[in-house]
């Protein structure tokens, strides 16, 4: 959900106002995903590298994300959305936020219409490191023989999540920024100049239409 800060600066507002505007974009995009019948939608809300931002912005984002779940968790639940988080949950993520994340996951666990995955304190390399650590532990305990793609997949944060089909990057940047490195191996990428607060269901629909025009070969001819 990239471009909140720039959107705010262009309007002469503080960066945090951009994150607040990003909430509206997120909920309209979720609505669009439901209309399209998507089963999985993953959004990047905070990366393992985002801790390097000014402390005041980091503090704002921690409070904001907790508050957002508190204010709008029920709405997602009523829409039949299962909410799940991927990323590291220990410190420095505030315990109050972890509690809210876990309460939202528990409340929505039985919903089947769509899964909204929120990548929070997430890094693609950190996820691979954590999977490798678990593989080492399971191998040492005699619970794992050969390492295969399947045994790595089984140790990702959400093993049952499908591979990424379509990856949309907003705000004119054209890089992966440590997002879903393993899962996006064959993802189709769509880049848009739109800053995240201006993203919406129409933009999602346009990206899906673009995706449908692509030929996916998965290494074949």
Query: What residues are annotated to the active site?
Result: 2, 50
Q: By rule CB under 6 A, what string of x and - marks binding of each residue 108-127 to ligand FPP?
A: ----------x---------
Tell me how far, at minimum, the Cβ of 184 lies from ligand FPP, in Å.
18
180 binds ligand FPP (CB under 6 A): no
Q: Which stretch binds ligand FPP (CB under 6 A): 3-11, 34-42, 132-140, 155-163?
A: 3-11
203 binds ligand FPP (CB under 6 A): no
Taken in order 190, 51, 5, 16, the sign of the CA dihedral is: positive
Which residues, in sequence order, are bridge partners of residue 169? 191
Q: What is the dihedral of CA 81, 170, 14, 44, to 10 degrees?
A: 40
Q: Which stretch binds ligand FPP (CB under 6 A): 1-9, 28-36, 121-129, 139-147?
A: 1-9
- Total residue count of the chain as it appears in this document: 221
Distance, CA of 81 to CA of 133 (rounded, Å): 31
Please classify residue 104 by burial: count the beta carbons closer than 10 Å to its beta carbon, then call 0-12 exposed, 13-18 middle and 19+ buried: buried
Tell me how far, at minimum, the Cβ of 183 lies from ligand FPP, in Å.
18
Nearer to ligand FPP, 93 or 131 (CB): 93
Tell me how far, at minimum, the Cβ of 55 lies from ligand FPP, in Å.
14
Half-sphere exposure in the Cβ direction for 48 (13 Å, CA): 16
Half-sphere exposure in the Cβ direction for 36 (13 Å, CA): 21
**31-70: which residues touch ligand FPP (CB under 6 A)?**
43, 45-46, 50, 61, 65, 68-69
Tell me how far, at minimum, the Cβ of 171 lies from ligand FPP, in Å.
6
DSSP code at position 52: G
22 binds ligand FPP (CB under 6 A): yes
**Contact between residue 15 and residue 183 where contact means Cβ atoms under 8 Å apart:** no
Nearer to ligand FPP, 68 or 207 (CB): 68
Distance, CA of 69 to CA of 208 (rounded, Å): 27
Chain contacts with ligand FPP (rule: CB under 6 A)? 1-6, 19, 22-23, 26, 43, 45-46, 50, 61, 65, 68-69, 118, 171
């Amino acid at each position: 959900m990239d471009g909140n800060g720039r959107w705010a600066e262009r309007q002469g507002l503080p960066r945090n106002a951009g994150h607040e505007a990003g909430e509206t974009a997120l909920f309209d995009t979720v609505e669009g995903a439901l209309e399209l019948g998507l089963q999985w939608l993953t959004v990047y809300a905070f990366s393992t590298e985002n801790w390097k931002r000014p402390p005041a912005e980091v503090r704002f984002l921690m409070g904001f994300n907790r508050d957002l779940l508190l204010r709008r968790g029920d709405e997602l639940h009523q829409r039949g959305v299962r909410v799940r988080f991927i990323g590291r949950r220990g410190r420095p993520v505030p315990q109050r936020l972890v509690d809210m994340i876990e309460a939202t996951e528990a409340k929505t666990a039985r919903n089947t219409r769509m899964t909204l995955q929120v990548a929070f304190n997430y890094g693609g390399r950190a996820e691979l490191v954590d999977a490798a650590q678990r593989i080492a532990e399971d191998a040492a305990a005699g619970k794992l023989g050969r390492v295969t793609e399947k045994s790595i997949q089984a140790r990702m944060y959400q093993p049952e999540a499908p591979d990424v089909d379509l990856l949309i990057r907003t705000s004119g940047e054209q890089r992966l920024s440590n997002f879903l490195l393993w899962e996006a191996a064959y993802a189709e990428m769509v880049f848009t100049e739109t800053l995240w607060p201006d993203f919406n269901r129409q933009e999602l629909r346009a990206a899906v239409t673009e995706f449908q025009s692509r030929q996916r070969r998965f290494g074949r001819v």
